[in-house]
Amino acid sequence: MEKQRIYLIRHGETEFNRLGIFRGRYEVDLNDTGRRQAQEIGKALKGCGISFLLTSPLSRAVETARMIAEILKVEYTPDEAFNNIALGEWQGVPKSKIKQDYPDLWHLWTTEPEKLAIPNGETVEQVRRRAFQGLKHIIGSRKETFAIVTHRSVIKALAAAMLDVNPPYFWKFYIDNAAFSIFEVSDGTFTLISWNNNAHLTEKVTELY
């Protein structure tokens, strides 16, 4: 059976990652560390046989994808299926403020975010459905090894969909900025090959929530 390899890459670091601010679809660029991380991950993926990249349309993901693509000498294409979760009224707000102003919602976020519905936002389950549908479309039309540059919420939801993991699963997965994970798919069955590869990073921050 022919196996197809998929790389899931989290975008490089932004100042919002360091400051503990919710991003969602709020536009925030890579910081200097994030740009260095994008270079590091591109170098780490040389020789892995990646034929093309897809990316979230948000600037931090696009910039990461562009820098990786330049090193690998492949094309990258933004795809709305892999956009970050829409966090509605939480976007651009410090996590400390959400914890203080909305303690019940914060508790849900840190325990079972799959049950959380943020005003004017998107649920984790909605992210899971749209991202997995987008992934299945790609593997149904192309058979090369490819990579997706996206966000931690999307990577967690996609991993759960591929491995058929039921809620609560969100906090059972951890992924660093500019780390990558590898899956293989054959006849519709997905296998996790490796998770949160970060040995190429010279600097990183740990972001728990």
The pLDDT value recorded for residue 110 is 97
Contacts from 166-175 at CB under 8 Å and sequence distance 24+? 167/112, 167/114, 167/115, 167/124, 167/125, 168/111, 168/112, 168/113, 168/114, 169/114, 170/112, 170/113, 170/114, 170/124, 171/110, 171/111, 171/113, 175/10
Averaged confidence pLDDT in the chain? 97
CA distance 194 to 104: 35
Domain definitions of the chain by residue range: 4-197
Summarised one tens digit per residue, pLDDT across range 86-121 is: 999 999 999 999 999 999 999 999 999 999 999 899
- Identify the CATH assignment for 4-197 out of 3.20.20.140, 3.40.30.10, 3.40.50.300, 3.40.50.1240: 3.40.50.1240
| Overall pTM surpassing 0.85 (yes/no) | yes
